[in-house]
Structure 1
């Protein structure tokens, strides 16, 4: 039962991290860079928690505890990888939107 709880926590926190990263993209798109960074920082915290949970599961297995490969565990890993990917892309989008904003301001100054 502890394993299932841990797996469900992986899914839940990964989902939160993914949602926060998507929220950050929306804020960046609207020029709300500070709010975007706050969302990314919160996503960082969730991902750190998930990474810690995943590491503990890996350590348990490495120390001899065997787990059956369940679709739920595969699903949790899928959620985690998607959250990490979207988080990484959100950071890139934030940078791109900031640069575009700077270019637009520079263009306006040159008129």
Structure 2
């Protein structure tokens, strides 16, 4: 038996949040529901990009929507994501530089340094 247990669902969750556009969408939706047009304006993303990522997040069960007239309003399907993101912010506050410079998952040192 695998000593790590079944981490597949957790890996899928974190992969779904690893894309910058999807993470930005989830972060914006922590503020409340929004239409695609609201999300494109707030995040500066193309409508097709927002729609594609919302479909992905809906498929993962993280985002839901309701229809009102001809408009769809998107919201977090799992409010627990707010706590997850807050916890991530706390971890990053303590380890941010170390995580950003991680040789496997972080940015190359020259990119991280130029962003400082």
The two structures share one fold, judged by TM-score above 0.5: no
- TM-score, normalised by the number of residues in structure 2: 0.30
Q: Greater RCO between the two (CA within 8 Å, min separation 6)?
A: 1
- TM-score, normalised by the number of residues in structure 1: 0.31
Looking at secondary structure, tell me which structure has more strand per residue.
2
Looking at secondary structure, tell me which structure has more helix per residue.
1
